[in-house]
Each structure stands twice: as C-alpha cells, then as structure tokens.
Amino acid sequence: MTLQLAGVTKRYKDFTAVNQLNFTIEKGEIFGLIGQNGAGKTTTFRMILDLQDTTEGSITWAGKPIKSVSRDFLGYLPEERGIFPQMKVEEQLLFFGELHGMDKADLKRDIDFWITRFDLEEKRHVKAETLSKGNKQKVQLIASFIHKPEFLILDEPFSGLDPVNMELLKDAILHLRDQGMTILFSSHQMDNVEELCDRLCLLKRGESLFSGSLLDLKKQYGKTKLTVRTNKTFEELSAFSGVQQVKMERDNEAVLTLQDESYALEIFERLSNGAYIEKFSLDYLSLHEIFKEKVGAAVV
C-alpha cells in the first residue's frame, strides 16, 4: 500500500501554497514532511485527507485516487489539539473506535493495551478536561490510531511534551511502524525527525528542496563537522587549513566546520603530533544544521 503525490499543486487566487510536489511513501515507512511555518505542510496534509482539492496533480493510495478510498484507512492527529472535554478517557476512545466500525470487544482490548503503555491507567475514568496537556495529547494520539488505520498522519506530535512523554510517543510510533502502519509526520524538532524517519521531504514556500533518504541528504554536504577535545585556542584552531568556523564548547571541546573532509587528516596530525588524542570525531551535519543551511533561517 503506497501513498503517492504526483505534481500536486494548490493555489489560492494569486498565492501558491504548494507547487509541483512529488513523493512516495511506502508501506511500513515513517516519512517526515518538514519546513518552516507556512511552508505548505498543513495544506499538503489537508489534500491527502481530502479536506481540500488539489489545483493540479494527483494523490493516490494503493494506486486509487484518494477520494475513492474509505476514510477508515486513515488516522490523523492535527496540530490543533481537540478532544471532548466532558467525556471520560475510556469513553472517548471507545467512541472514536466505534465511529470506524470497530468491534467493541477488540476495541476494549486495544484500549487497555494503549492506556497501560501510555501510563494512563489512573486517568481511564476521568473527564478529559481534568488531564494535563501531555496526557490530553496522549489520549488524542491514541484516538487517532485506535481503529488501526493503514496510514497515519501526525502533525507536530511532539509539541509541548516533556522528555518522558516524548520517549513514550517515539516508542509508540516505532511500534506502529513495526506493525506495518505507514506514518507521515511533521515536526519542528529535527532531532526527532532524524531519529525516526526513513525518508523525508523538505519544503520551502510550497516547493520541495529535497525528497529522499536522510543519508542521501547528508551526503550532499559530506562529513564536514569535526568535534575535537583539545587545549588549542579558538585562534589556533581557526588558523588550520580548511577550517571555516570554530565553535568552542565545554570541557575543552570544539566543533570545527570544514570546507570538506579532506582537511581532517592534516588537522588530526597537527593536533595529535604523534601522540594520543582524547576525542576526534568527523561526521555529517545534523538535520537541524542542514535545515538552517537549506532554508536560510532558524527552525521556528
């Protein structure tokens, strides 16, 4: 079961929100859609959800137009959170599951599993309005996939979560992926995208700057990030050939940005001078750093 966007464009009078977007998401894949606010992510989600029509192009699921596919194949966690405040947690999850025709006995078993996994057992019979922000988010997340959709869209799922709940959510996403669910999600937290995604699409002002595997994206820049532990000063490190930028960290660590990785050997030899060197690590740029480079502004 594959989701495919081919030449997808969305125009509003004189404004183009999405322009000629092309990507494919394979079954059991976690795919990231990233970009600044206003890049076209939510518009893309709405077209996949068939809440808005495309101006041009096609969106298909398993080769069929998205409009002709039963909505039960799809789950959605919107960025704008919203659950029924007066309804109790378990009742709420039963309601959403039964909306999709789920058998009540199966539904109860699945609700038990996820309530336990998300540490919500003590909240099972309380009204949603009494929950903390993090627990509300966990309940809405469960509601988005309790009917076991084949395809799940998560719009900023990590927003506002503390580190413990963020790890619970990551584990849940990986569990769903391992069960064969196909997942599309957006996040401004690039470390989460980097950790979870098989492939991604980077949007800027409605256009794709890159679509493919994270490793292929990183290879475009090469291994230019060098982390060293040294007593050398900022001025000494900056004077090395091929060093474009130096950032001094704690504990005598420094991060050097190189013109390209070919300069690393000479720097190693000069730093070590034939002796032991405690830390010398050459790596690709992080997704956060690449995002800033490509988009030309800080992540917002």
Kindly calculate the radius of gyration of the chain based on its CA atoms and give it in whole angstroms: 23
* Complete domains list, the chain, with CATH: 3-218 (3.40.50.300), 222-283 (3.30.70)
Please identify which residue in the block is written with the tokens 């125009």: 11
Token pair of 201, please?
A: 């699409």
Note whether 147 and 97 are within 8 A (CB): yes
Give pLDDT tens digits for 15-29.
999 999 999 999 999
Q: Round to whole Å and give the CA distance between 127 and 193.
A: 32
Q: How many degrees, rounded to 5, is the angle at CA 99 between CA 96 and CA 103?
A: 90
User: What predicted TM-score, i.e. pTM, was given to this entire model?
Assistant: 0.88
Q: In the 3-class helix/strand/coil scheme, how is 252-273 assigned residue by residue?
A: CEEEEEECCHHHHHHHHHHHHC
Note whether 180 and 28 are within 8 A (CB): yes
**Given strand 64-65, what is the order of strands in its sheet?**
15-25, 3-12, 56-61, 64-65
For residue 220, what pLDDT is reported?
92
Residue 299, SS3 per DSSP: coil
pLDDT at residue 296 above 80? no
Give every CB contact of residue 92 below 8 A, 6+ residues apart in sequence. 83, 84, 128, 139, 143
The residue type found at 236 is E
The residue type found at 156 is E
For residue 298, what pLDDT is reported?
43
Give pLDDT tens digits for 54-92.
999 999 999 999 999 988 899 999 887 778 999 999 999
